[in-house]
């Protein structure tokens, strides 16, 4: 049991509460934690907090799924064929370095402030880490395994599916985790500057309305959502691919 | 000293950039877009229009000041992140107690989504550059902290003990034992942090009205100047490439004699 690890956050929150209450920390818009907790109830009944969480979660997951599918297809093609790698990697490198946040205005301009725009821009931003990890995971398959497969005269598809992809699984999983985080961030950003729905819009609306307690609630919701999605993904991966990922973590 | 006839150890395996032939698909798309795109298209103006739009923006003296500000904030933030990240990472790596005590808090802060952090910072500190810098450094510092922490933990105990046995003072121990051991890891962290840093700089500029290229893009979008938006996007893309290349090059220069030929240990 990590006692200091539990004590420090409690102390920090306690200090925040105390310092605001006794007017040592005097930012105009810094509410004490207890007020933030008290604001949750009002938001659930009056501002559809649950609906916002569901909207943002659903869009982020949908965009993530699209990104995974596209990235798996392209990443496999690049990882398996050195010629494809040579002829396309530089383009991918250029498009990957393009900061995703700069794309949000472009997509909003082309598709308008819609759910479709959120999904497109989040999927685009999220697919790169996944694509790179699939490609380099396949390229990094241990040569000895490939030799064994050749000795056993396995078909090319067999080699890819039962040998190379499993060998790349830990790397692909970490790519998928990165992609999920990016997807959520970009969805929230798109909601903040474009499509006025979900948690991102909630943050901006409460900021404009100068209701810091409510804004803090939405901000913490986004932070918790990121942690929860990440934990859920890790758990699912452990449960469904436990045979592949035993060596992933000590 | 190298023996005659031995070759210098190959530098870090990954090339800075994949073969340039690979740019062909992207160039082809842009070329086709230019040749067959409708110059008056509202949604997809061809690249030629972007150039016109860039000129139009620069004529009103908006572009260069914005670029200057974005690059300045980026550079200051990255240097701050490197210094703070290396220090915090060394502390976390050297002390198990610090790891236990601050680990959960660090984990929470590390996963804090930057778009959500900007409005909080704006409400607390106002639309100031200090606010932007805090958010940017707060996001970009994590890869550097994590890499440094790992590297400090990987320094063999024998080496530290040898330093103590030789009677090195605490500061000497840090400069001669710790710093050389973690420098490569810090630089890898900085390389990873570079694109993150640029992204958050743009993000802060988009969400707070502190000017810069991020602000310019959003402003163009709100005026439905699509060629202007695409022009800014291209400029930002070039910025991304240049900053990554600069930091990558800097890493190579700083680590060109790394690991030192007398050092023992793993080469990877």
Q: Report the range of poorest mean pLDDT among A16-30, A49-63, A104-118, B3-17.
A: B3-17
Determine the Cα–Cα distance for residues A17 and A28; give it in Å rounded to an integer: 15
The confidence score (pLDDT) of residue A99 equals: 82
pLDDT band at A187 (very low <50, low <70, confident <90, very high): very high
Q: Quote the tokens at residue A80.
A: 């398996």
The confidence score (pLDDT) of residue B1 equals: 45
pLDDT tens for residues A73-82?
Answer: 999 999 888 8
Residue of higher predicted confidence among A135 and B170: A135
Q: Report the range of poorest mean pLDDT among A29-33, A153-157, B260-264.
A: B260-264
CATH number at residue A103: 1.10.3720.10
Per-residue pLDDT of chain B (268 residues; tens, 9 = 90+): 444 544 444 444 456 677 888 888 888 998 998 888 887 777 788 888 888 888 888 888 888 889 999 999 999 999 999 999 999 998 888 888 888 888 888 888 888 888 888 888 888 888 888 888 999 999 999 999 999 998 888 888 888 888 888 888 888 887 888 888 888 889 989 998 998 899 999 989 988 877 889 899 888 888 888 888 889 889 998 998 899 889 988 888 888 776 665 554 444 4
What residue spans define the domains of chain B?
46-254
* Cβ within 8 Å of residue A15, ≥6 positions away: none
Give yes or no for residue A248 having a pLDDT over 60: no
Domain that holds residue A81: 32-242
Give yes or no for residue A243 having a pLDDT over 90: no
Asked if the structure places residue A1 within a domain, the reply is: no
**A89: nearest CA partner in chain B:** B22
Determine the Cα–Cα distance for residues B249 and B191; give it in Å rounded to an integer: 10
Chain A interface disruption, residue of B95, B110, B115, most A CBs within 10 A? B115
pLDDT tens for residues A78-130?
Answer: 988 888 888 888 888 888 888 888 888 888 888 888 889 999 999 999 999 89
Residue ranges of B 200-229 with Cβ closer than 8 A to chain A: 202-203, 206-207, 214, 217-218, 220-221, 224, 226, 229
Are residues B115 and A188 in contact, defined by beta-carbon separation less than 8 angstroms?
A: yes
B105 touches chain A (CB under 8 A): yes
pLDDT band at A222 (very low <50, low <70, confident <90, very high): very high
Determine the Cα–Cα distance for residues B119 and B146; give it in Å rounded to an integer: 26
Asked if the structure places residue A89 within a domain, the reply is: yes
> Are B233 and A29 within 8 A, CB to CB?
no
> Are B105 and A12 within 8 A, CB to CB?
yes
Residue B21 C-alpha, separation from nearest chain A C-alpha, in angstroms: 6
Determine the Cα–Cα distance for residues B72 and B63; give it in Å rounded to an integer: 14
Asked if the structure places residue A17 within a domain, the reply is: no
Give yes or no for residue A183 having a pLDDT over 80: yes
CA A120-A125-A126 angle, 5° bins: 100
Locus of tokens 């877009």: B33
H helix or E strand, kind and range, residue A89: helix A82-97
pLDDT tens for residues A207-221?
Answer: 888 888 888 899 999
Determine the Cα–Cα distance for residues A83 and A79; give it in Å rounded to an integer: 10
Q: How many residues does chain A have?
A: 250
Q: What pTM was estimated for this model as a whole?
A: 0.83
DSSP state of A22: T
The confidence score (pLDDT) of residue B123 equals: 81
> Are B217 and A105 within 8 A, CB to CB?
yes
pLDDT band at A179 (very low <50, low <70, confident <90, very high): very high
DSSP state of B10: P
> Are B18 and A212 within 8 A, CB to CB?
no
Residue of higher predicted confidence among A69 and B57: A69
Determine the Cα–Cα distance for residues B243 and B198; give it in Å rounded to an integer: 8
* Cβ within 8 Å of residue B168, ≥6 positions away: B176, B177
Q: How many domains does chain A have?
A: 1
CATH architecture of B46-254: Orthogonal Bundle (1.10)
Q: Quote the tokens at residue B206.
A: 């988009």
Determine the Cα–Cα distance for residues A188 and A175; give it in Å rounded to an integer: 20
Query: Of B95, B109, B116, B166, nearest to A206 (Cα)?
Result: B116
Determine the Cα–Cα distance for residues A117 and A98; give it in Å rounded to an integer: 18
- What burial class does residue A103 get, using C-beta atoms within 10 Å of its C-beta: 0-12 exposed, 13-18 middle, 19+ buried? buried
The confidence score (pLDDT) of residue A9 equals: 87
> A236 vs A99, A142, A163, A231, B218, CA distance in Å?
30, 26, 21, 9, 38
H helix or E strand, kind and range, residue A183: helix A165-193
pLDDT band at A245 (very low <50, low <70, confident <90, very high): low
Residue ranges of B 120-139 with Cβ closer than 8 A to chain A: 120, 122-125
* Cβ within 8 Å of residue B97, ≥6 positions away: A4
Interface confidence, given as ipTM, is: 0.79
Residue B261 C-alpha, separation from nearest chain A C-alpha, in angstroms: 28
- What burial class does residue B10 get, using C-beta atoms within 10 Å of its C-beta: 0-12 exposed, 13-18 middle, 19+ buried? exposed
> Are B217 and A204 within 8 A, CB to CB?
no
Residue A54 C-alpha, separation from nearest chain B C-alpha, in angstroms: 17
Determine the Cα–Cα distance for residues B130 and B128; give it in Å rounded to an integer: 5
> B255 vs A85, B143, B233, B248, B258, CA distance in Å?
28, 19, 33, 11, 5
CA A38-A40-A41 angle, 5° bins: 85
């Amino acid at each position: 049991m990590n006692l200091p690890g539990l004590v420090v956050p409690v102390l920090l929150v306690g200090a925040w509460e105390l310092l605001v209450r006794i007017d040592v920390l005097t930012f105009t818009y810094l509410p004490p934690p207890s007020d933030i907790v008290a604001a949750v109830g009002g938001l659930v009944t009056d501002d559809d907090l649950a609906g916002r969480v569901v909207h943002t979660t659903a869009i982020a997951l949908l965009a993530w799924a699209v990104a995974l599918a596209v990235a798996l297809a392209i990443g496999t093609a690049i990882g398996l064929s050195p010629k494809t790698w040579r002829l396309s990697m530089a383009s991918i490198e250029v498009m990957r370095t393009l900061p995703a946040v700069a794309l949000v205005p472009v997509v909003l301009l082309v598709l308008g402030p819609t759910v479709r725009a959120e999904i497109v821009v989040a999927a685009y931003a999220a697919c790169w880490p996944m694509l790179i990890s699939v490609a380099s995971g396949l390229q990094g398959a241990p040569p000895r395994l490939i030799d064994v497969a050749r000795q056993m005269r396995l078909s090319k598809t067999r080699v890819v599916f039962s040998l190379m992809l499993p060998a790349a699984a830990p790397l692909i999983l970490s790519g998928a985790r990165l992609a999920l985080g990016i997807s959520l961030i970009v969805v929230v950003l798109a909601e903040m500057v474009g499509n006025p729905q979900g948690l991102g819009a909630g943050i901006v609306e409460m900021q404009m309305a100068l209701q810091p307690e409510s804004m803090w609630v939405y901000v913490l919701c986004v932070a918790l959502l990121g942690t929860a999605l990440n934990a859920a993904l890790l758990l699912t991966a452990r449960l469904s691919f436990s045979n592949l990922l035993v060596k992933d973590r000590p | 000293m190298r023996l005659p006839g031995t070759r210098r150890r190959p530098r870090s395996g990954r090339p800075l950039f994949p073969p340039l032939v690979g740019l062909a698909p992207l160039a082809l798309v842009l070329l086709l877009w230019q040749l067959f795109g409708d110059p008056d298209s509202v949604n997809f103006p061809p690249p030629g229009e972007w150039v016109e739009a860039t000129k139009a923006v620069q004529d009103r003296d908006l572009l260069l000041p914005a670029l200057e500000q974005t690059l300045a904030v980026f550079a200051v933030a990255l240097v701050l992140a490197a210094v703070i990240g290396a220090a915090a990472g060394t502390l976390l790596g050297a002390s198990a107690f610090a790891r236990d005590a601050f680990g959960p808090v660090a984990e929470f802060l590390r996963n804090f989504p930057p778009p959500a952090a900007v409005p909080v910072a704006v409400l607390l500190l106002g639309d100031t550059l200090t606010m932007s810098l805090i958010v940017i450094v707060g996001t970009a510092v994590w890869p550097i902290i994590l890499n440094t922490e790992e590297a400090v933990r990987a320094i063999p105990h024998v080496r530290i003990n040898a330093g103590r046995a030789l009677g090195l003072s605490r500061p000497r121990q840090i400069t001669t034992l710790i710093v050389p051991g973690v420098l490569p890891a810090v630089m890898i962290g900085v390389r990873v942090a570079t694109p993150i840093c640029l992204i958050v700089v743009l993000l802060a500029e988009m969400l707070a009205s502190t000017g810069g290229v991020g602000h310019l893009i959003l402003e163009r979008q709100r005026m439905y100047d699509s060629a202007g938006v695409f022009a800014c996007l291209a400029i930002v893309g070039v910025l991304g490439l240049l900053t990554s290349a600069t930091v990558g090059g800097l890493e190579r220069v700083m680590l060109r004699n790394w690991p030192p030929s007398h050092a023992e240990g793993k080469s990877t």
